[in-house]
């Protein structure tokens, strides 16, 4: 497992502003009798079209409170295209997918309070997320865990799977306690910021988040802090035919101040390297790309002449 390397790539957030027809919409997922039955809704929403991932029947499982009538920890979403109201912060655009939170998926589509927390899921702890918390010097116990997992198979030659996500939190920027997000492939967590920190509040490094303060109206969503759009890539263990994935969020040390992850477009690939690379080109790179396009245009004109 030590040969596995994390690959979290910041996605370029250069999206065309969505009209009202493409506004963010979240649909809570409820099932009053069987939490695992909800995976029949969640997994198709999580997978990209033609994902190349074959889910093994009987293995999907969900830990999370989805039994209420007004609040559920879990949902699906469409139209995730958050454009800033001002300034130079990026538009955050994601493919359709699922929404996992440490609180309720019924969040306001504006930032209303600094401590949004109308619902305590009481869904228990996650061993995997607790171990992540301990590895970062945090609490050995997580609370309000919301975790989706399943086994899957891929075609020969496939070496990785990847998904795109945005993590948001009301823990940012005032709390030292942090919520946490994990993306485990074959038992290895690949959800880390480019600097190596776990995807959580990281109070020691606030630059991991875009600030969305109450009253500022920068993004039309509840959370005080949002990450960029990231692509997280997990490398598959070449020694097994049936692989596992576990995606989850949880509170650490407390059960207040909610966080959540929007994640979608899960698909198989052939990433053989790993590593962490920002996905937004530097200005010089953009200029070089532009000059290349100009050169191609001039060449075409000469050929026509």
Mean pLDDT, range 99-108, rounded to an integer? 95
In the predicted model, is pLDDT for residue 300 greater than 60?
Answer: no
In the predicted model, is pLDDT for residue 252 greater than 60?
Answer: yes
In the predicted model, is pLDDT for residue 297 greater than 50?
Answer: no
The predicted pLDDT at position 274 comes to 55
The predicted pLDDT at position 256 comes to 84
In the predicted model, is pLDDT for residue 231 greater than 80?
Answer: yes
In the predicted model, is pLDDT for residue 289 greater than 70?
Answer: no
- Residue pair 73/35 in contact by the 8 Å Cβ criterion: no
Q: How confident is the model at residue 272 (pLDDT cuts 50, 70, 90)?
A: low
- The percentage of the chain sitting over the pLDDT mark of 70, rounded to a whole number, equals 82
Q: Over the chain, what is the mean pLDDT?
A: 82
The structure's pTM equals 0.84
The predicted pLDDT at position 125 comes to 93
- Residue pair 114/224 in contact by the 8 Å Cβ criterion: yes
Q: How confident is the model at residue 130 (pLDDT cuts 50, 70, 90)?
A: very high
Query: Could you tell me which residue, 278 or 252, shows the higher pLDDT?
Result: 252
Contacts of 112 (CB under 8 A, 6+ apart): 214, 222
Q: Which two tokens stand for residue 79?
A: 């139209």
Query: Could you tell me which residue, 298 or 98, shows the higher pLDDT?
Result: 98
Quick one: 83 exposed, middle or buried, by C-beta within 10 A (0-12, 13-18, 19+)? middle
């Amino acid at each position: 497992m030590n040969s596995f390397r994390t690959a979290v790539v910041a996605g370029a957030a250069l999206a065309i502003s969505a009209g009202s027809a493409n506004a963010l919409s979240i649909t809570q997922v409820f099932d009053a009798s069987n939490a695992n039955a909800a995976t029949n809704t969640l997994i198709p929403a999580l997978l990209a079209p033609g994902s190349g991932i074959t889910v093994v029947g009987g293995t999907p499982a969900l830990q999370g409170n989805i039994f209420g009538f007004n609040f559920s920890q879990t949902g699906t979403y469409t139209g995730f295209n958050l454009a800033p109201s001002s300034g130079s912060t990026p538009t955050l655009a994601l493919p359709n997918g699922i929404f996992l939170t440490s609180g309720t998926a019924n969040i306001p589509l504006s930032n209303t309070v600094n401590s949004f927390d109308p619902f305590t899921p009481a869904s228990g702890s996650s061993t995997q997320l607790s171990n992540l918390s301990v590895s970062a010097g945090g609490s050995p116990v997580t609370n309000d865990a919301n975790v989706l997992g399943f086994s899957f198979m891929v075609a020969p030659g496939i070496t990785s799977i990847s998904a795109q996500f945005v993590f948001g939190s009301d823990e940012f920027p005032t709390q030292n306690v942090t919520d946490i997000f994990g993306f485990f492939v074959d038992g290895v967590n690949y959800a880390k910021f480019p600097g190596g920190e776990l995807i959580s509040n990281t109070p020691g490094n606030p630059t991991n988040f875009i600030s969305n303060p109450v009253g500022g109206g920068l993004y039309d969503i509840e959370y005080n802090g949002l990450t960029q759009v990231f692509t997280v890539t997990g490398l598959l263990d070449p020694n097994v035919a049936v692989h596992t994935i576990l995606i989850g969020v949880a509170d650490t040390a407390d059960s207040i101040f909610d966080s959540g992850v929007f994640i979608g477009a899960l698909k198989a690939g052939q990433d053989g390297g790993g590593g962490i690379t920002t996905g937004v080109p530097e200005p010089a790179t953009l200029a070089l790309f532009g000059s290349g396009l100009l050169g191609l245009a001039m060449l075409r004109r000469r050929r026509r002449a």
